[in-house]
Amino acid sequence: MTGAAAGEEMHALVRRLYPLCRSITGDGVRATLDIVGEYLPLQVREVPTGTQVLDWTVPQEWNIRDAYIADGAGRRVVDFAASSLHVLGYSVPVHRTMPLAELREHLHTLPDQPRLVPYRTSYYAPRWGFCLAQETLDALPDGDYEVCVDSTLADGHLTYAEHVVPGRVADEVLVSCHTCHPSLANDNLAGIAVATFLARELAERQPYHTYRFLYAPGTVGAITWLARNRVERVRHGLVLACAGDRGAVTYKKSRRGDAEIDRVMRHVLETSGRPHTIKEFTPYGYDERQYCSPGFDLGVGSLTRTPYAGYPEYHTSADDPDFVTPDAMADTLAVCREAFAVLDRNRRYVNQSPYGEPQLGRRGLYDPLGGRSDAKEAQLAMLWVLSMSDGTHSLLDVAERSGLPFDTVGAAADALRGAGLIKA
C-alpha cells in the first residue's frame, strides 16, 4: 500500500472512531477496540474493579447514555449527543433543576478560546459537570435549568488489548497508544490509527524482533499492563500519540537517554532530512513515563508530531478529524517503518579475517570499474564494517561513526556475510 493510500485509510479510521465516548474504562473503549479488531486480531483483556496494580487500584467502570442542560422551554443548550466532550469525564449521575448561578459551579470553559469546548475529567473524585464554549455560556440568560447526566459508576472492568506480530526472536518491541480520550482526533485517534496500520505492515513480513502492540487507557492502563506482564523481553519501545497534525516530528528520548531506540530514532530523523525535534526525557507526558519508571527502566521513547499541549487545539473540540491529515499520518507511519527497519537489522558482527584487510576483489565485492560514486560509498562501507566488526560494535555504531546511511552499511554487511567474511 502506498503512503498516500495508507494515509487516507488511517484518516477514515480516525473519522469512524471519533464519535465514540472513550474514557479509562467502559463501553466506549470496548467499541473502539471492536473497530480496531476489524483491522487486526486483538487479545482483549478485562481486569476487574478493585484489582491491585502496583500502587494503583483498578477503578469502577464508567458508562454514559445521555447528558444535557435544558432551558426552561426544554431546549437542550448543551447536549452530549452533539459531542462527547460536553460531559466532564467520569461524571456521577445527576438529574436536577437549578438556577444558572448554582449551575456555573459545574461548568468548564476556555475564556481565552471562547468558541471551543474543553476536554476535562474527574477520574478519581466524585463530581459531575459539563464542558461548553464560553460564548455559549455567555449567551445563557438567568433562570432555572434542567441538568441530567445519565451515567453509571459501578464495579466492572478496565479493558485493554494486545496484538503480537511474531518475530524471529522472542525479544520484543513494545508499541503503545492510549485509548482513553473521547472525541479528540490527534491526541488519541491518530496514534491508534498509525499503530494499527504499522502492525498490519509488519505482519506482511516476518520481522526480526517480536512486536507487541498495546491499546490501553493512559496511566492506569499502562500501569495495569506492567503489573500483569513480564517485561524482561521488552528490549525497545515507542509510545505513539499526537501522530496526525501538520507539525514536524518530535521524538522524546527514554529515561536512559542512550537506549538503542533513542539512537535509532536520532539516526533515522537526522539522515531522512525531515524537519524534526529531539527532546530529552521528562517524567511528564504520555505512558513513556510508566515504562521508563526506575523499577522497569525500559528503553521506551515517545513519538509525536507537535507534542502534548504544544498546539492551541490540544484538548479542545478543535482537535477534530479535519485537524489531522492523511499526509501527516502517512509520514508518522513512515518514520516508524524506517526506525524499525534499522532496529531489526542492527547487529553486531565478528570479522572472520581480522588480520589485515581481506582481498575483496577476488570475492566479487569490489567493482572492477572504478569511478562510480555509489560503488565507492559501498566499498567504503564494507571497509568500515570490517574494521568495526569486533563483536562489540553494532551496525548503527558503524553508521554513526562513518557518517554513512544505515541502509548502505546494512547492505555492506549483507554482502560481507554472504562472502563469509563476517559472522553475527
Can you spell out the DSSP letters for 82-135? T-GGGB-BTPPPEEEEEEHHHHGGGEE--TTSTT-PBP-B-TTS----EE--HH
Q: Within 13 A of 332's CA, how many CA atoms are on the CB side?
A: 38
Closest CA to 332 of 244, 229, 209: 244
User: Phi then psi for 292, rounded to 5 degrees?
Assistant: -95, 0
Domains of the chain: 3-59+157-345 (3.40.630.10), 61-154 (3.50.30.90), 348-423 (1.10.10.10)
Q: How confident is the model at residue 66 (pLDDT cuts 50, 70, 90)?
A: very high
Q: Which residue has the higher pLDDT, 357 or 118?
A: 118
Residue 154 · residue 90 · CB < 8 Å: no
pLDDT at 371 over 50: no
Residue 18 has pLDDT above 90, yes or no: yes
pLDDT in tens, 216-234: 999 999 999 999 998 999 9
Tell me the DSSP string of 129-145: -EE--HHHHHTPPSSEE
Rounded distance, CA 110 to CA 131, Å?
9
- pLDDT band with cut points at 50, 70 and 90 for residue 369: very low
Residues 341-353, mean pLDDT to the nearest whole number = 95
Q: What is the mean pLDDT of residues 283-302?
A: 97
pLDDT, tens only, 232-268: 999 999 999 999 999 999 999 999 999 999 999 999 9
Give tens-digit pLDDT for 303-336: 999 999 999 999 999 999 999 999 999 999 999 9
pLDDT at 402: 94
Q: Closest Cα to residue 135, out of 76, 70, 78, 73?
A: 78
* Residue 283: Cβ within 10 Å count: 11
**Dihedral over Cα of 26, 28, 29, 35: its sign:** positive
CA distance 145 to 52: 41
Whole-Å CA distances, 50 to 17, 22, 219, 224: 29, 20, 16, 12
The CA distance from 229 to 294, in Å, is: 17
175 vs 327: CA distance, rounded Å: 21
What residues form DSSP beta bridges with 238? 175, 301
Neighbour tally for 295: CB within 10 Å = 7
DSSP string, 23-88: -SSSHHHHHHHHHHTTTS--EEEEEETT-EETTEE---EEEEEEEEEE-TTS-EEEETTT-GGGB-
Nearest C-alpha neighbor of 286 from the set 339, 240, 333, 223: 240
As a whole number, mean pLDDT of residues 184-208 equals 96
Q: pLDDT tens, 380-422?
A: 999 999 999 999 999 999 999 999 999 999 999 999 999 999 9
Give the pairing of strands 61-70 and 56-57: unpaired
Residue 375 pLDDT > 80? no
At 193, is the secondary structure helix, strand, or coil? helix
- Grid cell 539522515 is found at 271
The DSSP call for residue 379 is H
Q: Please tell me the predicted confidence (pLDDT) of residue 363.
A: 87
Mean pLDDT of all residues in 91-106: 98
Phi-psi region of 16 (alpha: psi -120 to 50; beta: other; left: phi over 0): alpha
Copy the grid coordinates of residue 107: 461548568
DSSP letter, residue 323: T
DSSP letter for 334, please: H
3-class SS of residue 161: strand
Model confidence band, residue 372 (pLDDT cutoffs 50, 70, 90): very low
Give the Cα separation of 272 and 26 in Å (integer). 41
Mean pLDDT is lowest, of 174-183, 210-219, 411-420, for: 411-420
Other CB atoms within 10 A of residue 407 CB: 15
pLDDT band at 4 (very low <50, low <70, confident <90, very high): confident
Q: What percent of the chain has pLDDT over 90?
A: 93
For residue 87, what are the β-bridge partners?
A: 130
Q: Which 8-state DSSP code applies to residue 246?
A: S
Number of continuous H segments (helices) and E segments (strands) in the chain: 12, 19
